[in-house]
Amino acid sequence: MLQGEKTIHIMKKAIQILYLGLMLFSAGCVTLYKPNTINSPLLKEKGDLNTSASIGVSGCGLFNLQASYAISNHAGLMVDGMYHNRHNEIDDFSVENLNMFFGEAGAGYFTRFGTEKSGLFQFYGGGGYGITNDKITNSNQPNPEVSAKYFNIFIQPGVALTSDYFDIAFDLRANYVRLFNIHAYLYDQFAWWNTDFNYYSGATLDFMNLEPVVTIKAGGEKLKGIFQLGVIIPTINSRSYFNVNNASLFVAPLIKFSLGVNYSFGRK
């Protein structure tokens, strides 16, 4: 084998080993929390109703629904829902199932600015509640399980440039999260699953993240595609965030990326 071929062979082996390690790490980590995609309402006047559905590709929950409604020319309401799941089949015929449900609501202020009123300032705040469950099932042994409830409180200022066919917004969410009623059944008896943190029943974990995101909506006057890109910056009690979302230690899951569709009602 030539020197160049040996080098390529070694590189392929290294990539395969790295990939296998990532897969084993992912399968051996409990996930109890995922952020949702951020709702950037982009309301302009009383009666506006913006709705969207998106898929979280990285850093956030899988299925996201959002709605925002302007109750006046400067006040708006927003509601969001998220469902996240993961299904892993492991070599010993065990199956991991993660399920997460979350909903939140908020209210805020918006105002248009600029000579053509194409600029938009918005500031929202609110909170939500979620439940999460990560469980291993195997017909030949007891089934370990970790579950928890959680709530969040957030504030979210943002600015945007808007038009009938294209919107781009920058929002910064400060998001406080507390997990409580953590239940860990047989978790400590499975060392391959218990990799980073010894959960115990009754534990409480809290942390705060900063989540700056750019949201782009483009398409028709009513129906648009929506794209969101941002990052998750764990700040206060960052270790707690990594404990409940171990995959984020690989950095890539700290990047939020989602795609979806947006439909606007009530626009004059």
Angular region, 169: left φ>0, alpha ψ -120 to 50, beta rest: beta
Label residue 220 exposed, middle or buried (CB < 10 Å: 0-12, 13-18, 19+).
exposed
CA-based nearest residue to 264, from 112, 38, 44: 44
Rounded mean pLDDT, 82-90: 83
| Mean pLDDT for the chain overall | 84
* pLDDT interval class at 20 (50, 70, 90): very low
What's the CA gap between 208 and 103, in Å, rounded? 18
- Extents of the domains making up the chain: 3-265
Neighbours of 202 (CB within 10 A): 9
The CATH architecture annotation of domain 3-265 reads Beta Barrel (2.40)
pLDDT of residue 17: 38
Calpha distance 94→27 (Å, rounded)? 11
CA distance 38 to 212: 9
The stretch 41-67 carries a mean pLDDT of 93
